[in-house]
Amino acid sequence: MPLPKKGQEELVGFVLVVVIVAIAGLILMGLFLRIEDGRKETKSADIAQFLDSAFLVTTKCHLSSPLFPSNIGELALACSSDKNELCLEGTNVCSVLNISLQDIIKSSWMVSENSVIKGYDFQIVMTMNRTTSSINTPVILIQEGVCANDYRVGEHLQPGTRRGTSLVTALKLCSDT
């Protein structure tokens, strides 16, 4: 009389259940990994070109000569190296930089609740590149309006005053609905 194979049948059934659960788990994990976090960032050449141009705009601050007003790029370098530096006129370089940047952004981009652009984040960060890591030090941060999910961003890179440093400027224009 043949021996019952009930144990083998149960083992095959168990392995089959484990395989089906594993495949279903892989499918679910693949679906969850594809879901975005809701943020939509778009790189913008227009914003990058705007920043390139903005760094060439002259200001009311004179750093070295009363005959030649300094531009935004020069003020950014001066502010990144010494937050207490003064213009020849006696005003703080970082304050002039902050006010000038706000004026440039407001005159170029219409930011309001009723506009396509609901807000913006503007920042200048000094990056010190080391062999093992980099150190980021905020220089200027200007924010206005609402910035949450949908935005366009542009960047401007400028060599810093010291070896291994650079200024990274980013403007994020938000069009959340």
The string of DSSP codes covering 134-154 is: EEEEEEEEEEEE--SSEEEEE
SS3 content of the chain, % helix, strand, coil (to 5): 35, 30, 30
3 state DSSP class of 132: coil
Reported in sequence order, the residue ranges of the chain that DSSP labels E, i.e. its strands, are 40-43, 119-129, 134-145, 150-159, 165-174
Average pLDDT of the chain to the nearest whole number: 82
pLDDT of residue 98: 93
Percent of the chain with pLDDT over 90: 20
The predicted model scores a pTM of 0.69
- Average confidence (pLDDT) over 16-29: 84
Cα–Cα distance for residue pair 28/46, rounded to 1 Å: 40
pLDDT of residue 129: 72
Report the helix count and the strand count for the chain, using DSSP H and E: 4, 5
Give 71's Cβ-side CA count (13 Å radius): 8
pLDDT per position as a tens digit, 44-61: 788 889 889 999 999 999
pLDDT per position as a tens digit, 91-143: 999 999 999 999 999 998 888 888 888 888 999 888 877 666 677 788 889 88
